Structure 1
Amino acid sequence: MAFYQQQPFYNPKTPFPGLIQGGLQDGKSIIISGRVLPGANRFHVNLQCGSQSKADVALHFNPRYENGSGYVVNNAYQNGCWGSEERKYETPFPSGQPFTLQILVSMDAYKISTNGRHFMDFRHRIPFTRVDTVFVDGMVELNSIAFQNPMSYFPPQPGYPPQYTAPPGCGFPSYPAPAAYTIPYKSVINGGLHPGKNMVIHGVINPNATRITFNLRHRTGIALHYNPRFDENVVVRNTHHMEKWGTEERFGGMPFKRGETFQVTISCNPHHYNVFVNGQQAHTYNHRYTKLDDIDILEVCGDLQLTSVQA
């Protein structure tokens, strides 16, 4: 079954109600990136059955920061009443720090991951098929709210050497999702690139990272080599064609930080790529390899953990 891939919400202001186009399905994820404000006392993410103030809430994810310690409350709200709280006495998102929250829908529960690691499950009390709204409020600023639909398996592509074929289960991995992404990661871009195509990658930079790489490949080379280098404090962009590297582009800022979460969006335009990092445009790279529909491999490697890939 195929589902329309909803575009992310970028830099939404709280309180924020966002429509989940097509609702929830088994295997769908919601990925929220942002920062807990310094001195925060609490914030919450709701998966709701409607956007009204008294709508039923299928999942209430509520980090709280009180008396120097923190914990998370999960609950559901139905027919005007809150249910029994489920608490975990742990602080997955320190005050003042960036974070990535991933909520993966399974048939029996929401599987909640924080900064790339499984945190807890919340069993369904309200059918997830009723949910159509994500609502965020409290002492938090948001970079993005993205959506990952259930992905399909793409078979190996004729003409590719074995290292560039899609691995078994290519696409969104089996539960729990974050643990199933291995580095280096390769995914087939079904149908190749075209203007308007976006690829969204979420992850966490390792604390001692030296370099990470995002490549858009074709059969004979690399159309876009996007290479943040922490040892040089620069992002290098280049193209590898006819077994030779072109001229490096090194200007522009370094929007990545060791030990922090990130969202990278690579947007294909008619004449160039736009690269957004955490919702802000970071770099533009003109096409040097112009046969866009030949570019059908996304590769991620280096010193990082992946939490979500939309290709």
Structure 2
Amino acid sequence: QEALEETPFRIPFTGSIHGGLQEGKSISVSGRVLPGADRFHVNLQCGSGSDANIAIHINPRYDGHPAYVVVNTKQHSSWGPEERKNSPIPAGSTFNLVITVTRDSYQLNVNGCHFMEYRHRIPFHQVDTISVAGKVEISFIGFQSALVRKPGLKSALPYRSAISGGLRPGSTITIQGTVYPNATRFHVNLSHHTGVALHYNPRFNENTVVRNTKQFEQWGAEERDGAMPFQRGQPFSMTIRCEKHCFKLVVNGMQMHNYKHRFSPLHNIGTLEIEGDLSLTSVLV
């Protein structure tokens, strides 16, 4: 997964989508709607000019009750018919928006939940630019080419996937799923041949997330500070971002935990493992 390197993003923001769009590619946008916002938008467009065609315009608006989202397409300087839905993102709240390209449509996912499907009006291979404007702060924009989406994924737990080439600064992994209603715990491990570089372990009976490292069959000191962002019975979207000195963990668009690296070199971290009381919707490695 590739990420655009600009933190914080200056709004309005325009960036190129390296390699354009293909079937299965997804774009993840995390941020926060400003309190008192009237509107903001995320566009996937064909070029960066002011007259560019806009393949999909995603426009949450807060000027009415309830708040709503307008989705539309602009071709040859003209807007098409709007599609409207109630907004799943309140003003002042954090969010994670994932736009996935399929053959016939864009699938929109907000905070781990399916939001809507928007059929293509412009061929997606013409899209090469993302732009964001309005009353919003953006903390992360990432692109993922190979989507591992298996409808029967939950029956495949424990989930295990190779990380091609290992990790490096800028690598991201995004996991979407739903916690079981009676969950006790689950964990996500980033592993190497002789141990676990990152063990990320939400424990519902203790209302905490334990982070740790295992080397030579020995666990290190647990880190338990910070909030518990997961809820029993609720969907979630989490991103693990590998940086030079630490892992940053973002859950439902909110920066939750930093974990300083205890293992190097990063490129030896070659396996993702997920196990416990959850069902998986998608895993982006």
TM range (shorter): 0.7 to 0.9
Among candidates 167, 171, 176, match of residue 198 of structure 1: 171
**CA contact 2:3–2:140 (8 Å) conserved in 1:** no
Match of 2:261 in 1: 285
Do residues 122 (structure 1) and 96 (structure 2) align?
no
Instruction: Please state which structure has a larger fraction of its residues in strand.
Output: 2
Q: TM-score, normalising length from structure 2?
A: 0.80
Deviation track 1:27-65 (CA, whole Å, cap 9, x = no partner) reads 100011112222222211100111112211000111122
Give the superposition deviation at 1:275: 0.6
What CA distance in whole angstroms lies between the structure 2 residues aligned with 1:8 and 1:250?
29
Moved more, 118-127 or 197-206: 197-206
What CA distance in whole angstroms lies between the structure 1 residues aligned with 2:171 and 2:74?
36
Structure 1 pair 66–301 and aligned structure 2 pair: CA distance change class (3 A): farther
**Sequence identity of aligned pairs in percent?**
42
Do residues 216 (structure 1) and 212 (structure 2) align?
no
Match of 1:266 in 2: 242
Match of 1:239 in 2: 214
Among candidates 177, 183, 186, match of residue 160 of structure 2: 186
Deviation track 1:91-145 (CA, whole Å, cap 9, x = no partner) reads 2112222111111111211111122122211111111111111111112211211
**CA contact 2:17–2:128 (8 Å) conserved in 1:** yes
Q: How does 1:93-112 map to 2 (within 5 A)?
A: 93-112=89-108
What CA distance in whole angstroms lies between the structure 1 residues aligned with 2:96 and 2:184?
21
Structure 1 pair 217–201 and aligned structure 2 pair: CA distance change class (3 A): same
Deviation track 1:252-301 (CA, whole Å, cap 9, x = no partner) reads x426524575432134x6xxx6211346881212227x6954x4320134
Partner SS state of residue 100, structure 2: strand
Among candidates 133, 137, 145, match of residue 133 of structure 2: 137
Match of 2:223 in 1: 250
What CA distance in whole angstroms lies between the structure 2 residues aligned with 1:11 and 1:77?
28
Structure 1 pair 282–207 and aligned structure 2 pair: CA distance change class (3 A): farther
**CA contact 1:205–1:262 (8 Å) conserved in 2:** no
Structure 1 pair 97–306 and aligned structure 2 pair: CA distance change class (3 A): farther
Match of 1:157 in 2: none
Stretches of structure 2 lacking an aligned partner (at least 5 in a row): none
Aligned residues: 272
**CA contact 2:208–2:227 (8 Å) conserved in 1:** no
Letter in 1 for 2:118: F
Among candidates 244, 247, 253, match of residue 275 of structure 1: 247
What CA distance in whole angstroms lies between the structure 2 residues aligned with 1:282 and 1:291?
16
Q: TM-score, normalising length from structure 1?
A: 0.74
What CA distance in whole angstroms lies between the structure 1 residues aligned with 2:198 and 2:75?
49
Structure 1 pair 107–285 and aligned structure 2 pair: CA distance change class (3 A): same
Structure 1 pair 292–59 and aligned structure 2 pair: CA distance change class (3 A): closer
Moved more, 11-20 or 204-213: 204-213
Moved more, 19-28 or 38-47: 38-47
Q: How does 1:293-304 map to 2 (within 5 A)?
A: 293=268, 295-302=269-276
Letter in 2 for 1:285: H
Stretches of structure 1 lacking an aligned partner (at least 5 in a row): 152-170
Give the superposition deviation at 1:84: 1.1
Among candidates 45, 56, 61, match of residue 48 of structure 1: 45
Among candidates 13, 17, 23, match of residue 14 of structure 2: 17
What CA distance in whole angstroms lies between the structure 1 residues aligned with 2:49 and 2:284?
30
What CA distance in whole angstroms lies between the structure 2 residues aligned with 1:307 and 1:266?
22
Structure 1 pair 305–282 and aligned structure 2 pair: CA distance change class (3 A): farther
Letter in 1 for 2:96: T
Structure 1 pair 65–196 and aligned structure 2 pair: CA distance change class (3 A): closer
Among candidates 29, 35, 38, match of residue 35 of structure 2: 38
Structure 1 pair 62–146 and aligned structure 2 pair: CA distance change class (3 A): same
Structure 1 pair 62–257 and aligned structure 2 pair: CA distance change class (3 A): same
**CA contact 1:255–1:277 (8 Å) conserved in 2:** no
Structure 1 pair 308–80 and aligned structure 2 pair: CA distance change class (3 A): same
